[in-house]
A and B are shown apart, each in its own frame.
Chain A
Amino acid sequence: MKRIAGYRPPYPGTQPNHLHPPYVSSIKRAPTKPPIPIPYTLSEVTGPLFGPEIIAPKASDLTIQHSGEPLGERIVVSGRVLDENSRPLANTLIEIWQANAAGRYQHEWDQHQAPLDPNFSGCGQAVTDAEGRYRFITVRPGEYPWGNHYNAWRPAHIHFSLFGPAFATRLVTQMYFPGDQLLPFDPIFNSTADEKARNRLISVFDWETTIPETALGYRFDIILRGREATPMEEEE
C-alpha cells in the first residue's frame, strides 16, 4: 500500500515562527513547545471546498455593496492562485477584509478616531476561475495606529484568507502596497525572516489591470503549498 503524498515543507525562513517578540501579542500566545511533525493522512489532504455558487454576485466589488459610494481611491486587486508546482488552483475561495480609506475597520473594537464610512464594509469574497485568476474592486485601505509600541502604525494592507484544496493548504496572509514607508518598521510584515519571501507580500502596481479614469491596478499572486511528487512505498 502506498503512503499518501504529502505537501512540501516550506523553504527555511519563508514562513514566520510563532514567537516573534517584536510583535508583542505573540509573546503570551505563541506555543512554547515545538509542533509535532506527523505524516499526512486523508484528514490533512482533504478539506472543505467552496465553489462560486456560495458567494453573492457583488461579493468581489467592495465599492457597490451599499446605496452610496465609499470614500477613497478605487483600486483593482487581482492575481492568480497557484501551487508551488506552478499549477493554477481553480475554484478556490478567497476571503478578504480591510480598513476603509481613512484607516478604520467596521468593527466595534476599532476605536481609532478616523471616521467610519457607511458605504464601506471592507469585506469581500471571490472564487478563482479555471486559470486560478481572481479580481476584487475596492478602495485603497488607510494606514492606522496600533498599540504594539510607541508610535506604531500598520502599513496599508488587505487581509487574505484561502482554503486551497486541502486542510494542509489553508493560508491566511496580508497583502501590502509598493513603496509603503511603514513596511520596514512593521513587526507583522517583518515576522517572515526571508527578505524575498517577505517582499512577495507586497503587491505590484500593474498598468494592465488599471482601469482608465477609474482605478489603479495592483497584482498579487498567491502561492499555496504544493504536493510532494511521488508517494513513497510504505512497508507492510
Chain B
Amino acid sequence: MSLQATSSQTVGPYFRIGLRWLNQDNLVGEGVSGERVTIQGRVFDGAGAPVRDAILEIWQANAHGKYDHPEDTQDKPLEPGFKGYGRVPVNDEGMFRFATIKPGPVPGLQGRDQAPHLVVSVFMRGVVRRMATRIYFPDDTHNASDFILNLVEPSRRTTLIAKKTASGPGALEWNVVLQGPDETVFFDLGL
C-alpha cells in the first residue's frame, strides 16, 4: 500500500508574507551567457478583470539547454550565475515582469529536442491547485515540431507562445487568461 499525496489547497490572498523572501524577478546573474529577454504580462480572470493576488514561478534550463539539477545528466555546462528559478508576484494591476535568458533546447521524446521553453506554475487566491503551463518563444523554428505544443489544438497554441513587442528586441509579452476564448492552456501533470 503506497501513500497518497497530500491534497493541494489555495495560497489564499496573503501568500506574499510567506513567499516574498524567495522572490526572484531577475534570473540572470553575472557572466551568464544567452540571449537576454524580459517577459511581461498580466493575469486576467473570467470577467476580464486583472487578478492582483497571483504569483508565478519559473523553471528553465540555461542557454546550453542544461538544467541545474542532478537528474539532468547531459554533457553540457552549468553556469554559476544561473539557477533557472524565478518567482514573480503580480502587482495591483495584475502585472508581472521578469528578466531571463532564452534557454537552449532540452531533450524531449524519441531523442528529439524540445523547442526552447520555460515551465511555469501559477498560484492565486481562488485557485485550489497549482496550474502548470509553459512559455515558448516567438519565431523559433523548433516550435513547429515540438511534441508538447503539438498535443495542443492549433487555435490554442498561441496562448503558450510569447509575443514580440514594440519595446525592443528581447521584450516579450505573455499573459495568463483564466477563462474565455483566449484561455491559457494548462497542462495536466497529475497534480
Q: Report whether chain A binds chain B.
A: yes
Q: In the assembled complex, which residues on chain B have CB atoms less than 8 Å from the CB atom of A54?
A: 22
CA–CA, A172 and B188, complex, Å: 17
**B3 with A223: CB separation less than 8 A:** yes
**A174 with B84: CB separation less than 8 A:** no
Which of A38-46, A68-76, A128-136, A209-217 faces chain B?
A38-46
A31-B111 in contact given A43-B106, A106-B17, A159-B18 (Cβ < 8 Å): no
B68 CB, min distance to chain A CBs, angstroms:
8
A167 CB, min distance to chain B CBs, angstroms:
5
Q: B18 is contacted by which of A1, A14, A97, A222 (Cβ under 8 Å)?
A: A97
Number of chain B residues close to chain A: CB under 8 A: 74
What number of A-B contacts does a CB cutoff of 8 Å give?
250
**A41 with B85: CB separation less than 8 A:** no
B142 CB, min distance to chain A CBs, angstroms:
14
B49 CB, min distance to chain A CBs, angstroms:
8
Please encode chain B, from 17 to 53, with 1 for each CB lying within 8 Å of some chain A CB and 0 for all others. 1110110000000000000000000000111010101
**A39 with B17: CB separation less than 8 A:** no
Q: In the assembled complex, which residues on chain B have CB atoms less than 8 Å from the CB atom of A36?
A: 151-152, 185-188
Q: In the assembled complex, which residues on chain A have CB atoms less than 8 Å from the CB atom of B184?
A: 31
A38-B11 in contact given A29-B46, A97-B19 (Cβ < 8 Å): no
Q: Whose C-beta in chain B lies nearest to the C-beta of A121?
A: B17
A29-B11 in contact given A15-B191, A82-B3, A121-B17 (Cβ < 8 Å): no
A193 CB, min distance to chain B CBs, angstroms:
10
Q: B8 is contacted by which of A6, A42, A172 (Cβ under 8 Å)?
A: A172
**A35 with B11: CB separation less than 8 A:** no
Tell me if B96 is interfacial: C-beta within 8 Å of chain A: no
Please encode chain B, from 157 to 191, with 1 for each CB lying within 8 Å of some chain A CB and 0 for all others. 00000000000000000000011100111111111
Given contacts A18-B129, A31-B184, A39-B147, 15 further A-B contacts (CB under 8 A): A1-B110, A18-B128, A23-B128, A29-B126, A31-B186, A33-B183, A36-B186, A41-B106, A46-B67, A54-B22, A97-B19, A123-B18, A159-B12, A172-B11, A191-B9
